[in-house]
Amino acid sequence: MSSSSVSELKERHIAATETVNSLRQRLNHKRLQLLDTDIAGYAKSQGKSPVAFGPTDLLCCRILQGHTGKVYSLDWTPEKNRIVSASQDGRLIVWNALTSQKTHAIKLPCAWVMTCAFSPGGQSVACGGLDSACSIFNLTSPTDKDGNIPVSRMLSGHKGYVSSCQFIPDENNYLITSSGDQTCVLWDINTGLRTSVFGVEFQSGHTADVLSVSISNSNSRMFVSGSCDATARLWDTRVASRAARTFHGHEGDVNSVKFFPDGNRFGTGSDDGTCRLYDIRTGHQLQVYSPPHQQQGGTVPDAPMVTSIAFSISGRLLFAGYSNGDCLVWDTLLAKVILNLGSVHNSHEARVSCLGLSADGSALCTGSWDTNLKIWAFGGHRKVI
Amino acid sequence: MGETSNGSSSSSMSPVSVSSPSIVYVDLYGKRRQLAKVQVLEREIGVLQDEIKSLAELELASRCCKELEDFVEATPDPLIAVNQSRGRRRSCWKNFWRKIGSLIQCCCCCSTKGDCTCFPCAKDCCRGGRKKACSSGCCKCPEITCGCSCDSTCPKCSVCCCNSCLCF
């Protein structure tokens, strides 16, 4: 009796798999019919002119030196132009981005850090990594006898490395982490407890390591995650049981996700060498950004992987760091590369691992495996109208 | 005669005695896992069917592209040159100056202000031969207490701190 139940289950599994595959094909076919154009096609039909960058329009105006290991992550404050960076040297450094001076250097209890974030108020920083925990440091705390800022809260509970963390906008006491244990977690920093775990039920969420999160600025209940399962997923923090939507298309790990400034779209960067733009309300893949050498179609073996992405404040520019040291500036509307910060004067000498825009959109910071951070700003002329 | 297993947690296998002398082991862990997989697939079927139904009311991609383009056009961007703008965006730039404030306005501030500290002016301040003294910010010593200012070595750490000054 029991053995026939097992064979029945196997038959049900085969039938269900066939049904799922057939429905996915139908869904893809119907979706393709709705993709009457992409962003570049639409922009060309409207007669859009490309953004033209002169050789000195985007310049490296600061070099932040001090880390002695690869820089893995950086984050700006929402105000006052400070940056926190995390490095393989086992430190967080807080920089005054305008003066290049270091205001804090935090030696971490676990050197294997992968991510860092500033709290909205700028008083705390968070970091996480191979210790599977997220540590919070209050920058106003008195230092211990060794001159180190102590951990003010340790958020423990993940069963794998913490790959990314971000504070909820305007909430100094809540943050979201992503993890190698295939889940994302919303934490209450005051209690140190998990408020919600996203994707913990069997196959309710990502099916591989989650590498990146991005919270919407216009609706802080929505966030997207990117994973080694080649998908990005949209979540509502009120519904942890399953993702609101799953976005397919990439052919490799999704290393970086970032909301578009309007809050209704988001971008992704992947090991497959492409960036993509998706619409959260419809699920449409609106654009693929493939570097020129990849545009013949198909997957190019050994193509540089996208490590990190960011949008300019208008969304017109997409910045993407790649594993070969390139940092391409894309015209988002026309899907053209307009500048490569990896080949200009003062470019990084190794992979760009992280990047981010200042809150007012006037500066881009890039972090690299060459141990430096660099700040780029508009160097052209601006006339007051 | 058969028996159900005791479901021991130390083993996923349970003996089932049958009329013949041989014992047949039932992989209960495998059965439960198989059942879970089937349930996940059946749930996925429901989700996919709902999604296919919802496509009937979904707007075309061109509508999303238009919304995106309208947003980009309406939002000033400090990293894009003004001469990329069109006249109809003057009102956007008035809002832009009001919102961004002095951070961008001091494009030519060095003649009137002593310490230019905005990002875009880092190069502009050096035009016409105006050079500022290098701040200690160029020090690459990881110790923030290191106050060296473009010395070749820092006594507090073993690395050579300062390269040639990269600021102003």
Nearest CB to B40; choose among A37, A203, A364: A203
Chain B within 8 Å of A68 (Cβ-Cβ)?
A: yes
When pLDDT is cut at 50, 70 and 90, the band that residue A308 belongs to is very high
pTM for this predicted structure: 0.80
Size of interface A-B (CB pairs under 8 A): 233
The pLDDT of residue B112 is above 60? no
* A32 in contact with B, Cβ within 8 Å: no
Using only C-alpha atoms, chain B has a radius of gyration, in whole angstroms, of 35
Nearest chain B residue (CA) to A100: B137
What mean pLDDT is predicted for residues B140-148?
Answer: 49
* pLDDT bracket for residue A52 (50, 70, 90): confident
Cβ neighbours for B64, distance < 8 A, ≥ 6 positions apart:
A264, A265, A279, A281, A282, A284, A286
Q: Provide ipTM, 2 decimals.
A: 0.91
Residues of B in contact with A89 (CB under 8 A): 142
What band does A124 get if pLDDT is binned at 50, 70 and 90?
very high
Whether A261 shows a pLDDT value over 60: the answer reads yes
Per-residue pLDDT tens over the stretch A71-87: 999 999 988 789 999 99
In this complex, do B68 and A20 lie within 8 Å of one another by their Cβ atoms?
Answer: no
Q: How far is A302 from chain B (nearest CA, A)?
A: 32
Kindly state the average pLDDT of the residues A281-285: 96
- Contact with chain A for residue B49, Cβ under 8 A: yes
Averaged pLDDT for residues A53-72: 89
Backbone angles phi, psi at A265, to 5 degrees: -135, 165
The residue that leads in pLDDT, A42 or A5, is A42
pLDDT tens, B89-103? 433 343 444 444 334
**Statement: residue B24 has pLDDT above 90:** no
What pLDDT, on the 0 to 100 scale, is given for residue A79? 82
Rounded to 5°, angle at Cα A213 from A65 and B72? 85
**For A10-16, what is the mean pLDDT?**
92
Radius of gyration of chain A from its Cα atoms, rounded to whole angstroms: 22
- DSSP-assigned letter for residue B101: T
Burial zone of B115 (CB within 10 Å; 0-12 exposed, 13-18 middle, 19+ buried): exposed
The DSSP element (H or E) to which A363 belongs, if any, is strand A363-368
Which residues, numbered 101 to 160 in chain B, qualify as contacts with chain A under a Cβ-Cβ cut-off of 8 Å?
103-105, 107, 117-120, 122-124, 135-144, 159
C-beta of residue A332 within 8 angstroms of C-beta of residue A318: yes
Contact A56 B42 (CB under 8 A): no
Residue A255 region by backbone torsions, left for phi larger than 0, else alpha for psi between -120 and 50, else beta: alpha
Among A168-177, A213-222, B78-87, B140-149, the minimum mean pLDDT is found in B140-149
H or E element in which residue A33 lies: helix A2-34
B81 touches chain A (CB under 8 A): yes
CB-nearest partner of B103 from A23, A41, A362? A362
Q: Would you give the distance in Å from CA A50 to the centre of its chain?
A: 26
Span A175-191, pLDDT tens digits:
999 999 999 999 999 99
Q: What pLDDT is recorded for position B22?
A: 54
Q: Calculate mean pLDDT across residues A302-312.
A: 94
Instruction: State the virtual CA torsion across A315, A282, A270, A117 in degrees, nearest 10.
Output: 60
- Which chain A residue lies closest to B37 (C-alpha atoms)? A13
The two structure tokens encoding residue A192: 């140190």
Number of H helices, E strands in chain A: 2, 28
Strand order in the sheet with A174-179: A162-167, A174-179, A184-188, A193-198
What are the CA-CA distances from residue B113 to residues A380, B5, B106, B130 (Å)? Answer: 20, 85, 9, 13
B95-113: average pLDDT = 40
Three-state SS at B167: coil
- Indicate whether B135 pLDDT > 50: no
**Region A103-115: what's the mean pLDDT?**
94
Residue B152, min C-alpha distance to chain A (Å): 15
Using one digit for the tens of pLDDT, what is the confidence trace for A336-363? 999 999 988 889 999 999 999 999 999 9
For residues B104 and A207, the model is more confident at A207
Q: What is the sign of the dihedral through the CA atoms of A162, A167, A168 and A173?
A: positive
Which of A30, A261, A380 shows the shortest C-beta gap to B75? Answer: A261
Smallest CA–CA separation between B78 and chain A, in Å? 5
> Quick check: helix, strand or coil at residue A140?
coil
CA distance B99 to A140: 29
Query: Contact A34/B144, CB-based, under 8 Å?
Result: no
Range A43-69 average pLDDT: 90
Structure tokens at B82: 């003004």
- Interchain pair B120, A361: CB under 8 A: no
Q: Which residue type occupies A330?
A: W
- Rounded to whole angstroms, the Cα distance separating A280 from A114 reads 27
**Strand arrangement, sheet containing A71-76:** A71-76, A82-87, A91-96, A102-107
Phi, psi dihedrals of residue A105, rounded to the nearest 5°:
-130, 110
| Nearest-neighbour CA in chain A from B115: distance (Å) | 11
Beta bridge partners of residue A100, listed in sequence order: none
What is the amino acid identity at position A79? E
**Closest-approach residue (CA) in chain B for A96:** B137
Residues 6+ apart with CB under 8 A from B10: none
Q: For A61, how many CA atoms within 13 A lie in the half-sphere containing its CB?
A: 26
Place of tokens 């390269």: B163
Distance CA A105, CA A100 (A): 13
Task: Give the distance from residue B104's alpha carbon to the nearest chain A alpha carbon, in angstroms.
Answer: 8
In 3-state terms chain A splits into helix, strand, coil percentages (rounded to 5) of 10, 40, 50
Q: With an 8 Å Cβ cutoff, are A377 and B76 in contact?
A: no
- Of A335 and A378, more confident: A335
Per-residue pLDDT of B158-168, as tens digits, reads 444 444 433 33
Please report the pLDDT score of residue A80 as a whole number: 74
Query: Nearest CA to CA, how far is B32 from chain A (Å)?
Result: 9
Considering all CA atoms of chain B, what is the largest pairwise distance in Å, rounded to the nearest integer? 102
Average pLDDT, chain A: 92
